[in-house]
Amino acid sequence: MTAQAPAHRLREVRAVVFDTDGVLTDSARAHATAWKAAFDARLAAHPPEDPAQRRPFDATEDYLRYVDGRSRLDGAAAFLASRGPRPSPATVEAVAAEKERLFTERLRERGVDAFPDAVRLLRALRRAGTPVAAASASRHAREVLSSARLLDLFDALVDGVEAARLRLPGKPEPALFLEAARRLAVPPAHCALVEDARAGVEAGRRGGFGLVVGVDRAPGPGTGDALRRAGAGIVVHDLAELLPAPCEGVPS
């Protein structure tokens, strides 16, 4: 039996929850750049005893492995622990705060752009009356979506500010996405989750989402397979793959 195309799989659900950075907006690179500057400064000031652990933060591999999709504190703790003894809470907070300062500065100076394919898909879903939510561990999600002129396309937003207020655990726990589905009044089993981070894809699987879409915008060796192993039902390189044919509709 021939596998269904991505657009047909999306027709099986009643609502869609989107991650933001790297899925809807070209802000993941800004996050990775800010993390690299903060981590490299820490490594230079406090070099690990093992010379092999002194190498600079890799804005692709280390970003995907340790910080992508996680809260700032969780991401900082995970990377620092990979380069030496478990860091103290004060060290984690200091590095996370420096990353926050650097990212905020870049965001307010340059803003961010929406991916054109994301705009097309969101508008198609809105025309069809399909409820859509954005969910992100970032405290800047609202500002990022506003800068990219996407904020008005969503029925609900659960960002890092709301996650902290509600004391929601970070990815790969599914609480952030479950809250987004709750606000859309659609059970997770009838929702699709669209994510680019392995931790976020795993969260969707744990949360029982009816369809988990992995987004692999910068495909490298094994990146799509890693998303599938984490729990993605399908992997796309462009959100336009989720658009219906002109004669078809989208979920309603």
DSSP 3-state of 60? coil
Q: Which amino acid is at 7?
A: A
Say how many C-beta atoms besides its own lie within 10 A of residue 4's C-beta: 12
Catalytic residue among 19, 68, 74, 159: 19
Q: Which residues pair with 215 in a beta bridge?
A: 236
Which tokens belong to 144? 């990022």
Is 117 assigned a catalytic role?
no
Cβ-in-10-Å burial (0-12, 13-18, 19+) of 187 comes to: middle
Is 21 assigned a catalytic role?
yes
How far apart (Å, rounded) are the C-alpha atoms in residues 193 and 211?
A: 6
How far apart (Å, rounded) are the C-alpha atoms in residues 197 and 186?
A: 23
How far apart (Å, rounded) are the C-alpha atoms in residues 43 and 85?
A: 13
Catalytic residue among 21, 74, 117, 216: 21
Instruction: Identify how many contiguous H helices and E strands the chain contains and give both numbers.
Output: 11, 6
Q: Could you tell me if 78 and 66 are in contact, meaning their C-beta atoms sit under 8 angstroms apart?
A: yes
Q: Active-site residues: which are they? A: 19, 21
